[in-house]
Amino acid sequence: MNKSSSLSGKRNREKVVNTVCFVLVIFFSALCLLPIWWIFRSSLMTNNQLYSNNVPFFPPDWLFSNYPQALKNFPFWTYLKNTMTIIVPSVIAGTVTAVLGGYAFARMRFPGKRFLFTLVIGSMFLPVMVTLIPLYIMWTNILKLNGTYWPLILPYFCGGGAFNIYLIRQFILTIPRELDEAATIDGAGHFRILLSIIVPAIKAAMIVVALLLFTQMWNDLIQQSLYIHDAKRFTIALGLSQFKGSLKQDYSAIMCATCMSFAPGILFYLMGQKYFVEGIALTGLKG
């Protein structure tokens, strides 16, 4: 009797806590959405309305016609296709090589491990901008790859960046070693263990890595402007930056194009989203 009332009291308390959490989530997400709403709202106004002393929260005229207008100068599908040509192979290659690297560092013993790991950590300190010129010289003067997408893609076949190797390693470290030791006794090789035990357990982390790579390339304006000069081969980031011209800043067009360029990122996220859910199921099994 006593026990069941304490249980139901606990359940009630849980309910209250969940409700409070829900309210907080709604509150925070409203704050979080404000800047995004602001970009969207600005995309439905004229430049003159944007510069008005009156700052309307809702667009005065809801100028959806801005979108076809912006599309005239922002061939979204072409840019999207170009961007995907760069991003898809890079994301896949970057994730795969990061998993291989992260697995080696987390689970294997080999001479030179500490040294290599230190090199990986050290490479994180290096802003992209710093090595831009030496790399530019390598890609253009030595490898003659200017004008192609290769200088943007190939780096991702080379480890996918230190952060990602490190993240994968951290996640593999949280998986109990007993699991793969058991498999080793069953005679499984390293790649079998990686594929059948590690990869399923770190799916969520792999999605995180893929998303990191995705946004990283999505935003890599400086390198893209260095290697791509044919307007037909422009990416979304380059296309967006065109609207800030030499003599005029067309902010409402920038905001339109920005809103359109939300879509691929969101789709990409939604595709990965179900693996987060799966992650929960897996930990349930593991316990």
Partner 1 sequence: MKKLLAILLCVLMISSILVVNAAAEDVVEITYSYWGTPEEAASVQAVADKFNSEQDRIHVTVLAIPNEEYTTTLNSMAAGNQLPDCGIMNENGVLDFAADGLLADISSMYEGAASMPLDAITFKADGKPVAYSAANEILFLYYNKDMFDAAGVAYPDPKTPYTWDEFVETAKLLTLDGNGNNAASPDFDANNIVQYGCNVDNWTWQLEVWALSNGGAWFAPDGSACTINTPEVAESIQNVADLYLVDHVMQFRDGLEDSGVQSTIAAGNVAMATGGTWNVGTCMNLATFPYGVAPLPVMKEEVTICTGGPQVVFAQGSHQAEAMEFIKWYTQEENSWDSLIATGIWMPILEEYYVNEELTHKWVDNPNFSMGYENFKTSVVDYAHDYAVSTCWYYVPHTNEFLEYLRSELGSVWTGDISAADALNHAEAHLIEIFEGY
Partner 2 sequence: MARRPKHRNALLRSETRTAYLCLIPSIIGLIFLTYIPLMEVFGLSFFSWKGNGFTGFKFVGLDNYIRLLTTDPYFKQSVLVTIYYTFMAVIGSMIYSLIIALLLNRKIPARGFWRAIFYLPYLLPAVAVYLGWNWLYNINYGLFNFVLNRVFGLPRVGFINDAKLVAPSLALISVWLSGNLIVIFLAGLQNVPRTYLDAAEVDGANAWQRFWFITIPVMSPIIFYNLLMALITNLQVITPALALTKGGPGSSSRFVSYVMYQYAFENRKFGYAAAVSVMLFILIGIFTAILFATSRSWMFQQGGDDNE
- Interface with partner 1 by CB under 8 A: which residues? 47-48, 50-53, 72-74, 97, 132-133, 136-137, 140-141, 143-148, 150, 154, 157, 191, 221-222, 225-226, 229-231, 234, 238, 241-250
Binding segment (CB under 8 A) for partner 2, from list 1-9, 59-67, 71-79, 121-129: 121-129
Total residues belonging to the chain: 287
Q: Using CB under 8 A as the criterion, what x/- string covers residues 1-30 for binding partner 2?
A: ----------------xx--xx-xx--xx-
Contacted entry of partner 1, partner 2, none for residue 208, CB cut-off 5 to 8 Å set by kind: partner 2
Residues 227-266 that bind partner 2 (CB under 8 A): 236-237, 240-241, 251, 254-255, 257-258, 261-262, 265-266
Report d(CA 22, CA 150) in Å as an integer.
46
Closest distance between partner 2 and the C-beta of residue 173, in Å?
4
- Is the Cβ of residue 214 or residue 243 nearer to partner 1 in the bound state? 243
Contacted entry of partner 1, partner 2, none for residue 146, CB cut-off 5 to 8 Å set by kind: partner 1
Residues 154-213 that bind partner 2 (CB under 8 A): 155, 157-159, 163, 165-167, 169-177, 189-191, 204-205, 208, 211-212
Closest distance between partner 2 and the C-beta of residue 185, in Å?
13
- Is the Cβ of residue 116 or residue 154 nearer to partner 1 in the bound state? 154
105 binds partner 2 (CB under 8 A): yes
- Is the Cβ of residue 221 or residue 271 nearer to partner 1 in the bound state? 221
> Residue 127 contacts by C-beta under 8 Å, 6 or more apart in sequence?
none
